[in-house]
Structure 1
Amino acid sequence: MRIITTERIPIKLWLDNIDRETLQQVKNLANFPFTHHHIALMPDAHVGYGMPIGGVAATIGVVIPNAVGVDIGCGVRAVRTSLTSIEPSELKKIVARIRETIPLGFNHHKKPRPAKLMPDLSTAISESSLPVIAREFEKGRYQLGTLGGGNHFIEIQMGNDGHIWLMIHSGSRNIGYRIAGYYNQLAKDFHKSGGLKIDPKWQLDYLPICSTNGSNYFTEMEYCVRFAAANRKEMMSRVCAIIADTDPTATFAPAVDIAHNYASKEHHFGEDVIVHRKGATKAVKDGIGIIPGSQGSNSFIVKGLGAPESFMSCSHGAGRKLGRKQARRQLNLAREIEFLKKRGVIHAIRHKKDLDEAAGAYKDVHEVLENQQDLVEKTVTLSPLAVVKG
């Protein structure tokens, strides 16, 4: 960890190199009048909207929609199987069945999923208290159990514990996107009509948590976190069923499921605060976490060390080193495919447009893990065998 002390509150960084845009965003957060004690930046950090991906910020009395992001509740689910190997020919069949069974990219189910699979509502749906969920609930039934695109993936992995693992990275799909957009606009409107005047270029419009809109955002955001977890659970159930069809002797350990885009009411450094984790994972003492790499690198199951200086957080993955357009311009398609071929990975790189998710677009996940040894402890190393992407 290193510390920058030039701003209103300190910035604590778990990375050596930071680009100018990301540094400016974290400085904006440090000078934001409601942030508490310090800002924490994880080793996978890179630029985002308003707040960097890989940022952790605690606020007093306000919530910042852009500090949670548009894919509310996005996270990772991992399951250890009893299998110790899968033949390459069977692996290809499993991948084909996953692609046939789970809608990928922008695709949704043609029929709505049963309402009982949707998360329970802690409060009644109404236009006044939960306006977005009321509008999007039925559409959400078509989205439940769908992967999405971008950096979302389904991966079959070999663990150094001798077991085959399954891992899914996905979020709250369109329902989370709608909630994020709706409340960020309300935050912009609040900024224009009242509250402290903050440079709009910072993209840190906020809502007082005690206001109706702030309270509603928090309720709908928490629903989104549960929806995203249910989405991953539904997909994992289907993947496990495909594995079981291949080998009826297969059994599955209880899942680990971790969100990395959300806000949470917590207590840190003497204050009740709202901790915004945007591309960051909670890492309480002895808590089990997941740090995925790229489709050409290792992923890790980790144990949290409960470090207070990171607000008990760690990285959510390897983190991008190239933007999407930059990756498509700079990376060599043949070289990226050859790299994955040498590793023996059934991968998802086919065309130049896929290069934004190539291994070369991401930071070295081993270096990312090395930079946070005071935050988490590695327990299982996972190597990719097959990857499905949207």
Structure 2
Amino acid sequence: MKQVIGTERKPIKLWLDDIEEGALDQAKNLANLPFAFKHIPIMPDSHQGYGMPIGSILATKDVVVPNAVGVDVGCGMCAMPTGLEHIETEDLKKIMAGIRARIPLGMKWHDERQDESLMPEGAEELDIVGRGYVKACKQVGTLGGGNHFIEIQKGDDGKIWIMIHSGSRNLGAKVAAHYNHLAKRLNERYFSSVERKVDLAFLPIETPEANAYIKEMDYCIAFALANRKLMIQRVAEAMKEVVGEFETGEIINKSHNFAAWENHFGENVLVHRKGATPAFEGELGMIPGSQGSHSYIVRGLGNPESFKSCSHGAGRKLGRKQAIRSLDLEAEKSKLDALGVLHAVRNKSDLDESVSAYKDIETVMQNQTDLAEIVVRLSPLAVVKG
């Protein structure tokens, strides 16, 4: 931990020195919520989000806050080791083409519904999920846009790894928007002391609305995992088509946008993680850098001060519009070309995901040595972006 701010209702505990003003203001809003439990941890990759900083944790006892989970419910990462130790560059290029042929990117979906056995059960019992189910059947196994990625990486354990970052696609966005809007209306009706402008409307945990949100959130978390698992399967298919058969290891999965009941400081609390990865003692997770830097497989240390959490990545240094406006396209492409990475920066519009748009992952890792320990260091070989 780098510093503690004690000026608000609850302490703010930061694992970084350089938090931006907007993110700090949002952290203070969290700390002043009447239902915030114990303190507010801010991870080393933190930056400003919507209502709540990306890379922060809010624990509560009596309420659920939809916007403290965010719009991409269940967003997270999967990583899988393979039995491969090397892939030639020309083969990587063919594999990238195979991935793009199998996995819709950005706003694209499959033309046909995928096998429904891939989908979590129980959608028919839910309101928003039930209405979006048919579309979701075409979205499972699709990447999405923004900072979502597919990477083929080489680990310092000698293995080739596959890593995927994606979420619940349009399904989670619909659930998040519906229940955040519902929470705002209910808070206004009952004269909540939480100001509308902070965008942290809540649902009391004993209400039917909170119960409905948690059920739909849980479905979106399961759907997001199904989405990532199908993509990993199809990436492996694309690889095998080029290099032949190989063994695969167990998939490591971690969500970083969700809320879950956990026991901390002797009490059962609802822990909201928005861009923060669970780091319970001994559990494996992953912390990716940018497409031009290392990523890490880590083992959690179970630090109670962070509610047993760590960062979910490097974290943005520049906003998307700022990066596109201020960075030099050829310079960013040259950085990646020099590293030998088959990358996804081709046009000016891609600069929001360039190396310079992100914080230095090595500094981020150094700032959280008390939260997670490094197991494998991964270097990017080829990257697909949404």
Look up the match of 2:73.
Answer: 72
Aligned with residue 335 of structure 1, among 328, 331, 341: 331
Structure 2: runs of 5 or more not aligned = none
Q: 2:11 is aligned with what amino acid?
A: P
Find the counterpart in structure 1 of residue 239 from structure 2.
243
- Conserved? CA contact 1:9–1:38, under 8 Å: yes
How far apart, CA to CA, are the structure 1 residues paired with 2:220 and 2:288?
Answer: 22
The CA deviation at 1:120 is: 2.1
Deviations 1:115-163 (A, max 9, x none): 1110122xx724xxx2101101111100000000110010000101111
Q: For the Cα contact (< 8 Å) 2:296–2:376, is it kept in 1? A: yes
Please say if 1:352 is aligned against 2:348: yes
The structural deviation recorded for 1:331 is 0.8
Q: What is the identity percentage for the equivalent residue pairs of Structure 1 and Structure 2?
A: 55
1:280 aligns with 2:276: yes
Question: For the residues of structure 2 that align with 1:268 and 1:320, how far apart are their CA atoms?
Answer: 29
How far 1:270 moved relative to its partner? Answer: 2.7
Q: For the residues of structure 2 that align with 1:373 and 1:212, how far apart are their CA atoms?
A: 41
After superposition, give the CA deviation of every residue in 1:96-120 in whole Å (9 maximum; x if it has no partner). 1111110001000000011111012
What amino acid does structure 2 have at the position aligned with 1:277? R
1:191 Cα deviation from its structure 2 partner: 0.9
The corresponding residue for 1:125 is 124
Q: How does 1:1-390 map to 2 (within 5 A)?
A: 1=1, 2-121=3-122, 125-126=124-125, 130-194=126-190, 196-390=192-386
Distance 2:338 2:91 in 1: 19
SS at match of 1:165: strand
**What is the deviation of 1:365?**
0.5
What is the rounded CA distance, in whole Å, between the counterparts of 1:309 and 1:84 in structure 2? 38
CA distance in 1, matches of 2:347, 2:326: 14
1:11, 1:38 within 8 Å by CA — same for their partners in 2? yes
Which deviations, in whole Å up to 9, do the C-alpha atoms of 1:52-95 show, x marking residues without a partner? 00001101110111100000000111110111100111000000
Q: Is the partner of 1:36 in helix, strand or coil?
A: coil
CA distance in 2, matches of 1:185, 1:86: 48
User: How many residue pairs were aligned?
Assistant: 385
Distance, in Å, in 2 between the alignment partners of 1:86 and 1:117 is 30
Q: Distance in 1 between matches of 2:108 and 2:339?
A: 30
- How far apart are the structure 2 equivalents of 1:241 and 1:249? 9
Q: State how far apart, in whole Å, the 2-side matches of 1:249 and 1:267 are.
A: 44
Q: 1:247: how far off?
A: 2.6
Cα deviation for residue 209 of structure 1 reads: 1.4
Residue by residue over 1:33-52, the C-alpha shift from the partner in whole angstroms, topping out at 9 and shown as x without a partner, is: 00100000000000011110
- More displaced stretch, 245-254 vs 202-211: 245-254
User: C-alpha distance in 2, partners of 1:245/1:198?
Assistant: 55
Q: Is the 8 A contact 1:29 1:39 kept in 2?
A: yes
CA contact (8 A) 1:243 1:250 kept: no
Q: Distance in 1 between matches of 2:177 and 2:244?
A: 45
Q: Is the 8 A contact 2:74 2:256 kept in 1?
A: yes
Of 34-43 and 242-251, deviating more is 242-251
- Tell me, in whole angstroms, the C-alpha distance in 2 between the residues paired with 1:19 and 1:147: 29
Q: CA RMSD in A?
A: 0.9
Give how far 1:195 is off: 5.4
Contact kept, 8 Å, 2:70 with 2:176, in 1: the verdict is yes
Query: Are the aligned partners of 2:91 and 2:243 in contact in 1 as well (CA < 8 Å)?
Result: no
Structure 1 residue 293 displacement after superposition: 0.6
Most deviating of 237-246 and 51-60: 237-246
SS in 1 for 2:247: coil
Task: Please state whether the residue corresponding to 1:35 is helix, strand or coil.
Answer: coil
- One-letter amino acid of the structure 1 residue matched with residue 284 of structure 2: I
Amino acid aligned to 1:66 = N
1:241, distance to aligned residue in structure 2 (A)? 1.2
TM-score, length of structure 1 as denominator length: 0.97
Give the residue type in structure 2 aligned to 1:372. Q
Per-residue deviation at 1:196?
Answer: 2.6
**Cα distance in structure 1, aligned partners of 2:257 and 2:370:** 22
- The CA deviation at 1:246 is 2.1
Deviation at 1:31, TM superposition (A): 0.3
Counterpart secondary structure, 2:37 = strand
Counterparts in 2 of 1:249 and 1:101: CA distance versus 1, 3 Å = closer
TM-superposition CA deviations, 1:181-223 (whole Å, max 9, x none): 0000100111111153211111110001110110100010011
